[in-house]
């Protein structure tokens, strides 16, 4: 290991040389109180940034073992430290001017959700922060003295202020950890009681804007459960809290436009993740295996059994292994449901605004005009009860335009100026008064067979296999774009980075044309549970920009890969 003086000497010596002279920096340096690891040096000022680590011995950092003694405590601690470091970095350092990414220092920036990230690593031996840095240049010439300021003057005080327990706002740190413990305890209670969602009284569900996940602070209506749906639980730190419990079965959210229907559903769909203190949805949680379903015109589909919903297509197309390069609204929504079930989804979350109308409903008048024999689509309303009865898959639907769903619902919640009301009795009375002529399809919902991905799906070009990401919603396999806009619960670019890492790991180590998707993903996630995301990462330098996605989103990405072949 080299010293700070040696690092300074290198930077003075290479000042003004060609950019590749920075490669000499790679290695470890004792900077007094912490180690600087230069893991990867970019080859060009316009290339992906270099990767460095600040490593502090655990005894020096001083974090009590109880602050990371369980997986969820560790998740909360890493998230809190990441947020602190990100904010401190923005305040302390604006970056130096130069070519390309010169002067940039960054850490993975979290949103409102608490995710298991690799930006911070902590165990009984060390605490480690993982950063990206744009090594400064003028043109393609090294700016050694600017780099010296970045790593020897800016970085050390940031590490000391934000990675030493004694220097932190300890009350805020423990608040984050205790909230995460309360959230974990609430999930345990929900599972025992058969609740698929819980929204605490006083929650603030509306967001600041359509492009911001921060809470609305002006004129926001605090959530208040209907008395008939209100349940009280006792959490380790929050104590007794009350809120609306949504039970297993078929649940409708109804109401006029702009009264909060979709806002409630969005809170529930993002309740698969814990949220930070101050978000407003801290104790709004839902079944971790809940999957948002929508129509997705134009997506590719590979051998999916959509026959429970679509059959008897013209030209005798077999819908038990349906494939297309350009799915319609109805076929894409049917495929999305079957793929979610294949991945283990226990709850389907559906908003009619993003659904195919002919997939959701076909009224009695249309059924009389267009006979069943001439209509290949069995609408969702005719299958939603058998999904629950036969597959134990619950549903939460936002419905504003079809009262026919009153027949099949177990619970009906009406949003009235952002206040929920239990209108199940009224809805059932209306259903009895105006009965549907044609009742639901009583056929059992079939088992979902697992599909086996074939190795031929993943060809190499002259440079081998290159898997990259572009933001949250695009993954690139060589030059083929995999569009992920239909995966609404994929919320962070770092999750998409991890999806790419899982892709790569499956291709390199797992896909053998014998195991189905679900088995493959279970094996990969067993490895992640044991070794963290580091266990599957193939990277240059540290893996500091990964966040754990759900298996459902990984499978969703695989299903949207247009070269996919399965049997």
In a domain, 135, yes or no: yes
Q: What is the pLDDT of residue 436?
A: 78
Domain annotation covers residue 393: no
Domain housing 531: 455-559
pLDDT score at 541: 81
In a domain, 473, yes or no: yes
454 touches 512 (CB < 8 A):
no
Element of type H or E holding 88? helix 71-92
Tell me if 382 is assigned to some domain.
Answer: no
Q: How far is CA 468 from the centre of its chain?
A: 18
Among 168, 190, 206, which residue terminates a domain?
168
Residue 499 counted as domain residue: yes
Sequence-ordered strand ranges (E) for 399-504: 411-416, 419-422, 467-470, 474-477, 480-483
Instruction: Kindly state the DSSP code that residue 535 receives in the 8-state scheme.
Output: G
In terms of residues, how long is the chain? 567
Contacts with 374 (C-beta within 8 Å, 6 or more apart), sequence order: none
pLDDT of residue 208: 92
Dist CA 341 CA 203 (whole Å): 30
The confidence score (pLDDT) of residue 362 equals: 83
Residue 506 has phi, psi (to 5 degrees) of -60, -45
Q: In the listed set 131, 146, 168, which residue is the last one of a domain according to the structure?
A: 168
Given a contact cutoff of 8 angstroms between Cβ atoms, the answer to whether 260 and 253 are in contact is: no
**Could you give the C-alpha distances from 502 to 259, 470, 534, in angstroms and in order?**
40, 16, 11
Structure tokens at 405: 């769903």
Q: Of 145, 168, 191, which one is at a domain's C-terminal end?
A: 168
Confirm whether pTM is higher than 0.85. yes
Residue 536 maps to a domain: yes
398 closest CA partner among 272, 495, 268, 521: 268
Measured distance CA(239)–CA(143) in Å, rounded: 56
Identify the helix (H) or strand (E) that includes residue 553.
helix 551-559
Tokens 């569900």 belong to 205
Question: How distant is the alpha carbon of residue 427 from its chain centre?
Answer: 35
Which mean pLDDT values do the consecutive 10-residue runs of the chain (567 residues) have?
A: 95 96 96 94 92 97 97 98 95 75 90 97 97 94 94 94 97 98 98 98 94 91 98 98 98 94 97 98 98 97 96 80 96 98 98 95 77 81 95 96 92 96 97 77 86 94 88 96 97 97 93 92 96 88 94 98 96
Question: What would the 3-class secondary structure string for 240-308 be?
Answer: EEEEEEEECCEEEEECCCCCCHHHHHHHHHHHHCCECCCCCCCCEEECCCEEEECCCCCCCEEEECCCC
For residues 457 and 564, is the Cβ–Cβ distance under 8 A? Answer: yes
Is residue 429 situated within a structural domain?
Answer: no
- pLDDT number for residue 437: 67
Across-strand partners of 461?
464
pLDDT at position 206, please? Answer: 96
Residue 192 resides in a domain: no
Residue with tokens 């970085």: 155
Checking DSSP bridges between strand 239-247 and strand 230-235, what pairing results, if any? antiparallel
Count of structural domains, the chain: 2
DSSP secondary structure letters along 174-241: HHHHHHHHHHHHHHHHHHHHTEEEEEETT----EEETTEEEEP-SSPPPP---GGGEEEEEETTTEEE
Helices (runs of H) and strands (runs of E) counted in the chain: 15, 26
Ramachandran class of 19: left when φ > 0, alpha when ψ lies in -120 to 50, beta otherwise: alpha
Can you give the pLDDT at residue 441? 60
Among 461, 560, 453, 546, smallest CA distance to 506 is for 453
């Amino acid at each position: 290991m080299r010293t700070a003086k040696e690092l300074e000497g290198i930077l003075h010596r290479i000042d003004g040389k060609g950019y590749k002279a920075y490669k000499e920096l790679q290695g470890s340096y004792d900077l007094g109180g912490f180690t600087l690891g230069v893991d990867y040096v970019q080859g060009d000022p316009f290339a992906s940034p270099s990767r460095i680590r600040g490593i502090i011995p655990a005894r020096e950092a001083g974090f009590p073992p109880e602050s990371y003694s369980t997986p969820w405590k560790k998740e909360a601690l890493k998230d809190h430290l990441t947020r602190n470091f990100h904010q401190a970095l923005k305040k302390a350092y604006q970056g130096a001017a130069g070519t390309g990414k010169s002067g940039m220092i960054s850490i993975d920036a979290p949103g409102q959700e608490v995710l298991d990230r690799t930006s911070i690593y902590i165990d009984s031996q060390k605490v480690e922060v993982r950063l990206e840095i744009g090594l400064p240049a003028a043109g393609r010439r090294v700016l050694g003295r600017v780099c010296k300021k970045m790593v020897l003057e800016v970085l050390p005080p940031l590490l000391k202020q934000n990675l030493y327990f004694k220097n932190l706002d300890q009350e805020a740190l423990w608040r984050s950890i205790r909230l995460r413990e309360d959230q974990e305890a609430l999930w345990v209670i929900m599972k025992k009681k058969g609740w698929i969602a819980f929204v605490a009284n006083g929650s603030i569900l509306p967001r600041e804007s359509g492009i911001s996940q921060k809470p609305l602070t002006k004129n926001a209506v605090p959530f208040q459960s209907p008395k008939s749906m209100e349940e009280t639980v006792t959490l380790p730190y929050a104590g007794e809290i009350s809120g609306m419990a949504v039970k297993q079965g078929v649940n409708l959210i109804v109401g006029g436009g702009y009264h909060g229907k979709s806002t409630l559903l969005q809170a529930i769909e993002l309740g698969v993740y814990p949220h930070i203190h101050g978000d407003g949805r801290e104790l709004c949680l839902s079944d971790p295996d809940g999957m948002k379903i929508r129509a997705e015109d134009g997506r590719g589909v590979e051998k999916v059994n959509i026959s429970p919903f679509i059959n008897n297509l013209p030209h005798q197309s077999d819908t038990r292994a349906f494939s297309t390069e350009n799915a319609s609204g109805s076929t894409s929504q049917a495929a999305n449901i079957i793929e979610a079930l294949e991945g283990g989804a226990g709850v389907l979350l559906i908003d009619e605004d993003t659904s195919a109308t002919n997939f959701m409903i076909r009224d009695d008048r249309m059924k009389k005009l267009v006979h069943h024999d001439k209509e290949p689509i069995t609408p969702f309303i005719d299958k939603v009860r058998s999904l629950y009865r036969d597959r134990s898959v619950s549903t939460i639907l936002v419905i504003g335009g079809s009262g026919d769903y009153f027949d099949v619902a177990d619970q009906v919640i009406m949003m009235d100026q952002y206040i929920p009301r239990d209108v199940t009795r009224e809805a059932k009375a209306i259903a009895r008064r105006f009965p549907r002529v044609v009742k639901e399809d009583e056929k059992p919902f079939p088992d979902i067979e697992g599909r086996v991905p074939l190795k031929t799906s993943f060809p190499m070009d002259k440079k081998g296999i290159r898997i990259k990401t572009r933001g949250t919603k695009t993954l690139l396999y060589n030059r083929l774009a995999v569009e992920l806009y239909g995966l609404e619960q994929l919320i962070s670019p770092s999750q998409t980075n991890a999806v790419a890492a899982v892709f790569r790991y499956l291709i390199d180590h797992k896909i053998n044309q014998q195991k189905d998707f679900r088995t493959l993903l279970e094996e990969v996630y067993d490895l992640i549970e044991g070794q963290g995301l580091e266990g599957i990462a193939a990277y240059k330098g540290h893996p500091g920009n990964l966040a754990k996605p759900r298996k459902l989103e990984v499978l969703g990405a695989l299903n949207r890969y247009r070269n996919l072949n399965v049997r």
